[in-house]
C-alpha cells in the first residue's frame, strides 16, 4: 500500500514538472515574440521620427521642369484628370489643394451639384494622354495610398 502511494505521488510530481516545463517554454516563446514586436515598433517610431525631422521641400525652389513631367492640355474638354476627393466642405477641399500643391502637384477644385447638394471635387489635371494620367494615378496610390480615379475632361 505504501509503495502504491509513493508511486502515485512520484507520477503526479513528474507530470506536474513536465506540465510546468511546457508552460515555461510557451511563456518564453511569447516573451520573445513580444520583444520582437517592441523592436519592430521602436524601429517604426525611429523611422517616423527621422521622416518628421526631414525638412520640408521648398516647392518654390524646385525648377518648373522638375515639378511635373507629365504633358498637360491647354484646351478645356480634352485630356484626362485624376479626381482625388469629393467633399461637401470647401474648406477641406482647399486644404487638400494646399496639401497636394505642397507635394508638387497642380490640384484644382471644381463644383458639382448632385440633387441640390454641392460637392467640391479636388482634381489633378489635365493630362494629355491616358498613359500620363495612369502614371500620375499610380504615383498617388504608391506614395500616398489615395483612392483616386481617372476622368475624361
State CA 36 to chain mean position distance.
Answer: 23
Note the pLDDT tens digit of each residue in 120-150.
999 998 889 999 999 999 988 998 898 898 9
> Do the beta carbons of residue 73 and residue 126 sit within 8 Å?
yes
Domain residue limits, the chain: 1-54, 64-152
| Topology given in CATH for the domain delimited by 64-152 | Alpha-Beta Plaits (3.30.70)
Read off the pLDDT of residues 4-43 as tens digits, 9 standing for 90 and up.
777 888 787 777 777 766 777 777 787 777 777 777 666 5
Tell me which residue has cell 471635387. 121
102, pLDDT greater than 60: yes
pTM beyond 0.85: no
d(CA 106, CA 84): 12
Alpha-helical (H) ranges within 54-129 are 64-67, 90-102
Amino acid at each position: 500500500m505504501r509503495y502504491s502511494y509513493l508511486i502515485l505521488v512520484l507520477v503526479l510530481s513528474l507530470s506536474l514538472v513536465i506540465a510546468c516545463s511546457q508552460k515555461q517554454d510557451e511563456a518564453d516563446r511569447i516573451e520573445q515574440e513580444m520583444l520582437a514586436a517592441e523592436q519592430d515598433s521602436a524601429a517604426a517610431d525611429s523611422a517616423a521620427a527621422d521622416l518628421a525631422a526631414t525638412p520640408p521641400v521648398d516647392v518654390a525652389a524646385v525648377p518648373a521642369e522638375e515639378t511635373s513631367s507629365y504633358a498637360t492640355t491647354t484646351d478645356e474638354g480634352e485630356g484626362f484628370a485624376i479626381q482625388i476627393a469629393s467633399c461637401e466642405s470647401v474648406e477641406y477641399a482647399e486644404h487638400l489643394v494646399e496639401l497636394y500643391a505642397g507635394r508638387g502637384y497642380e490640384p484644382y477644385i471644381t463644383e458639382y451639384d448632385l440633387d441640390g447638394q454641392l460637392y467640391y471635387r479636388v482634381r489633378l489635371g489635365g493630362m494629355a494622354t491616358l498613359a500620363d494620367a495612369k502614371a500620375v494615378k499610380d504615383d498617388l496610390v504608391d506614395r500616398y495610398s489615395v483612392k483616386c480615379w481617372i476622368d475624361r475632361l
